[in-house]
């Protein structure tokens, strides 16, 4: 469809969207989609009609099984996908890889030949990655002897609902694509879905290929996900949305498989997925931006982004489309601080500032900002010295804790409190987001543990006075009539996470 759309040479969009513009855009897009669907179906029917004799079928299967070229050939000639959003009942589509998908698939397949590799796919939404991973799994299952793979998602109902419907589950997508392959391409026992179930080749979260001995397993992302298994490939669906930031999954998958595939849209910067997206040794990082999609590219379809953005907030656009990890952090007390770039690298200058903290102690207030992660998710603490008269904010300490118990965190903050009270003698408030008061499995909360350690300065940042104070700090951070400076200690701890 990229060639079809490119041939239209649409004019650049310049102006506001009105109902008529959107209607014309939608009608034109649907017409082109219908044309593309018809072209693909006709080409697929012609291709399938050529393989009538067993000798031809054996040669075709051999071609499909040959490495990365075989996967690309098999996908473009035999695989099907499903999209319920398509108009006119054209929901079943012959799969044809776009250039960005083929390049990414080749990277994944190359990584699968090595040991202990992690591939992380950072993507804009609706880029077809769940389908692409499921087709990779099906291809391995069809053509790789004794192969085994594990597919996981946050909940069991997102992994397998025991139907052949491709809507909503990973196993549904695999079954859909498998059952639309010609009968001669499927393993023995898979003449129909009913036959496979009767022979127990298809059970809940377990697909068996008795011809090759291959298996596809499924599992929700529990604390024991993947533990005790030894697999060729493990796939982690929508990895950024996992409970607790997905750190338990990252830990449990150590040495479990030759290849891990993590794919997700962006959801904040404190998850295991977000950390893998950075320059982590041994990780193969694939970025899949919406502009690479030939149906959405500004050069081909300049209205797509404008129409898609209509019902989205600015934060959603930066997160869901532009893959901005900082934009998708919700409930952050000092959100702009995460994007600050005001570092003090001059040790002598910072020493002078600290001396001023002592000389003018009564004019400084130490303020803390705490963004609490639920369960074992990441929690951060920002310590600032605030001079109201000068409207100056100095970031003196920063801590990120991931997978640390609540009581340990509370004691660390207590030590910080003691340090700053002993040094500067004036302690202000700790602003905490509402998650601090949410109870965990043991019916305790962050706030409870902090109070237990004697930290009674913690306040929920929802009163108007607190919002005004935070607004003043953010104005300083933005440089509007104020000063922001991040000290050497905070830079060391702060820069690797928030400002990557």
Q: What is the mean pLDDT of the chain?
A: 77
**Bridge partners of residue 377, in order along the sequence:** none
Q: Picking from 22-26, 366-370, 406-410, which range would have the lowest pLDDT averaged per residue? A: 406-410
Q: Which residues contact 223 (CB under 8 A, 6 or more apart)?
A: 248, 252
- pLDDT, residue 401, reads 62
Q: Is the pLDDT of residue 11 over 60?
A: no
- pLDDT, residue 151, reads 95
- Report pTM: 0.70
- pLDDT, residue 229, reads 82
- pLDDT, residue 371, reads 66
Rounded CA separation 245/272 (Å): 6
- pLDDT, residue 76, reads 93
Q: Which residues contact 280 (CB under 8 A, 6 or more apart)?
A: 118
- pLDDT, residue 49, reads 78
* Residue of higher predicted confidence among 177 and 394: 177
Helix (H, G, I), strand (E, B) or coil at 57: helix
Q: Which residues contact 130 (CB under 8 A, 6 or more apart)?
A: 170, 173, 237, 263
Q: Picking from 150-154, 178-182, 323-327, 370-374, which range would have the lowest pLDDT averaged per residue? A: 370-374
* Residue of higher predicted confidence among 320 and 179: 179
- pLDDT, residue 114, reads 84
- pLDDT, residue 10, reads 36
Rounded CA separation 70/60 (Å): 10
The residue count for the chain: 500
- pLDDT tens for each residue of 279-315: 677 789 999 998 898 888 777 777 777 777 777 777 7
The pLDDT confidence band at residue 208, using thresholds 50, 70 and 90, is: very high
**Bridge partners of residue 237, in order along the sequence:** 263
Q: What is the mean pLDDT of residues 393-417?
A: 69
* Residue of higher predicted confidence among 334 and 448: 448
- Within its chain, how far is the Cα of 314 from the centroid? 18
- pLDDT, residue 497, reads 33
- pLDDT, residue 402, reads 59
């Amino acid at each position: 469809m990229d060639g079809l759309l490119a041939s239209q040479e649409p004019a650049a969009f310049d102006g506001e969207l009105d109902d008529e513009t959107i209607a014309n855009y939608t009608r034109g897009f649907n017409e082109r989609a219908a044309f593309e669907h018809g072209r693909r179906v006709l080409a697929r029917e012609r291709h399938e009609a050529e393989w009538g004799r067993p000798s031809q079928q054996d040669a075709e299967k051999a071609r499909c099984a040959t490495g990365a070229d075989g996967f690309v050939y098999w996908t473009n000639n035999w695989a099907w996908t499903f999209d319920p959003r398509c108009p006119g009942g054209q929901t079943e589509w012959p799969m044809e890889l776009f250039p960005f998908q083929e390049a990414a698939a080749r990277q994944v397949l190359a990584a699968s030949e090595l040991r202990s590799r992690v591939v992380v796919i950072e993507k804009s939404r609706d880029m077809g990655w769940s389908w692409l991973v499921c087709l990779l799994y099906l291809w391995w299952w069809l053509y790789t002897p004794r192969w085994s793979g594990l597919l996981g998602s946050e909940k069991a109902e997102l992994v397998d609902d025991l139907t052949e419907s491709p809507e909503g589950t990973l196993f549904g997508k695999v079954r859909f694509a498998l059952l639309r392959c010609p009968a001669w391409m499927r393993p023995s026992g898979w003449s129909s879905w009913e036959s496979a179930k009767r022979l127990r080749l298809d059970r809940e979260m377990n697909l068996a290929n008795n011809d090759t001995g291959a298996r596809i397993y499924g599992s929700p992302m529990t604390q024991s996900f993947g533990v005790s298994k030894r697999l060729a490939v493990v796939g982690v669906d929508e990895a950024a949305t996992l409970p607790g930031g997905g750190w338990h999954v990252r830990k449990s998958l150590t040495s479990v498989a030759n290849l891990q595939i993590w794919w997700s849209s962006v959801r904040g910067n404190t998850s295991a997925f977000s950390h893998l997206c950075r320059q982590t040794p041994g990780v193969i990082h694939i970025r899949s931006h919406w502009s690479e999609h030939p149906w959405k590219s500004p050069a081909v379809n300049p209205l797509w982004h404008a129409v898609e953005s209509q019902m989205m907030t600015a934060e959603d656009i930066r997160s869901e489309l532009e893959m901005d990890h900082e934009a998708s952090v919700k409930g952050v007390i000092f959100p702009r601080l995460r994007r600050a770039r005001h570092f003090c690298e001059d040790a002598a200058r910072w020493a002078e500032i600290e001396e001023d903290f002592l000389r003018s102690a009564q004019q400084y207030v130490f303020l803390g900002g705490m963004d609490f992660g639920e369960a074992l998710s990441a929690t951060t603490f920002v310590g600032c010295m605030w001079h109201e008269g000068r409207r100056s904010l100095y970031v003196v300490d920063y801590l990120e804790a991931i997978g640390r118990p609540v009581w340990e965190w509370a004691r660390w903050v207590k030590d910080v409190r003691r340090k700053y009270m002993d040094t500067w003698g004036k302690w202000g408030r700790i602003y905490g987001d509402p998650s601090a008061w949410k109870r965990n499995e043991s019916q305790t909360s962050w706030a409870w543990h902090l109070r237990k350690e004697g930290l009674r300065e913690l306040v929920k940042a929802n009163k108007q006075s607190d919002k005004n104070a935070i607004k003043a700090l953010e104005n300083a951070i933005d440089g509007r009539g104020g000063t922001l400076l991040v000290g050497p200690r905070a830079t060391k701890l702060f820069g690797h996470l928030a400002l990557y």
